[in-house]
Chain A
Amino acid sequence: MLKIKDLTVNVGTKEILKGLNLEVNAGEIHAIMGPNGAGKSTLSHVLSGKSGYEVTGGSITYNGKNLLEMPAEIRAREGVFLAFQYPVEIAGVTNVYLLKAALNAVRKHKGLSEVDAMDFLTLVKAKTKALEMDEKFLYRAVNEGFSGGEKKRNEILQMAMLEPQLCILDETDSGLDIDALRIVADGVNALRAENRSFIMVTHYQRLLDYIKPDFVHVLADGKIVKSGGAELALELEEKGYGWLEQA
Chain B
Amino acid sequence: MSISWLDDIRTQAKNQFEKTGFPASNLEDWRYTNVSAIAKKEFSVAKFVEDVDFDAVESGSAFHFVFVDGYFREELSNLPESITICSINDALKNHANLLQSKFNQAIQQSHGFIDFNTANFTDGLFVHIPKNTILEKPLQIIHIATQAAILPTRHVVILEANAKAELIEMFVSPEKYAYLTNSVSEIFVGENADLTLYKVQQEGENAYHFGGTYVQQADNARFTHHNFALGSLLARSDIVSDLETAAECELNGLYLGSKNQHLDNLTRINHLQPNGISREFYKGILNDQAKGVFQGRIVVAENAQKIDSQMNNRNLLLSNEAEIDTKPQLEIYADDVKCAHGVTVGQLDEKSIFYLQSRGIDEETAKHILTFAFANEMVDRVTFEPLKVQLAALLAVRYPMD
**Which residues from chain A sit less than 8 Å from chain B, CB to CB?**
48-51, 71-73, 75-77, 81-82, 84, 87-88, 90-93, 97-98, 101-102, 104-106, 109, 142, 158, 162
**Which residues from chain B sit less than 8 Å from chain A, CB to CB?**
349-352, 354-363, 365-366, 369-370, 372-374, 376-377, 401-402
Q: How far is the CA of A92 from the CA of B373 in the complex (A)?
A: 5
Interface pair A162/B359, CB less than 8 Å apart = yes
Of A50, A76, A91, A109, the residue contacting B359 (CB under 8 A) is A76
Interface pair A105/B362, CB less than 8 Å apart = yes
Q: Chain A's nearest CB lies how many Å from the CB of B27?
A: 37
Given contacts A88-B352, A93-B369, A101-B369, contact A73 B374 (CB under 8 A): no
Q: Which residue of B lies closest to A103 (CB)?
A: B360
Q: How far is the CA of A218 from the CA of B402 in the complex (A)?
A: 42
Interface pair B360/A162, CB less than 8 Å apart = yes
Q: How far is the CA of A197 from the CA of B352 in the complex (A)?
A: 26
Q: Which residue of A lies closest to B373 (CB)?
A: A92
Known: A92-B376, A93-B373, A102-B359. 20 other contacts (CB 8 A): A49-B357, A50-B354, A50-B358, A51-B354, A76-B358, A84-B355, A84-B358, A88-B354, A90-B352, A90-B370, A91-B373, A91-B377, A92-B372, A92-B374, A93-B369, A98-B356, A101-B365, A101-B401, A101-B402, A158-B359
Chain B CB count within 10 A is highest, among A49, A51, A92, A98, for A92
Q: How far is the CA of A82 from the CA of B372 in the complex (A)?
A: 25
Q: Chain A's nearest CB lies how many Å from the CB of B202?
A: 23
B-side contacts of A87, CB under 8 Å: 355
Interface pair A73/B351, CB less than 8 Å apart = no
Interface pair B373/A90, CB less than 8 Å apart = yes
Q: How far is the CA of A150 from the CA of B279 in the complex (A)?
A: 32
Q: Which residue of B lies closest to A159 (CB)?
A: B359
A-side contacts of B358, CB under 8 Å: 48-50, 72-73, 75-76, 81-82, 84
Closest 5 CB pairs of A and B: A92-B373, A105-B360, A102-B359, A76-B360, A72-B357
A-side contacts of B370, CB under 8 Å: 90, 92-93
Interface pair B373/A72, CB less than 8 Å apart = no
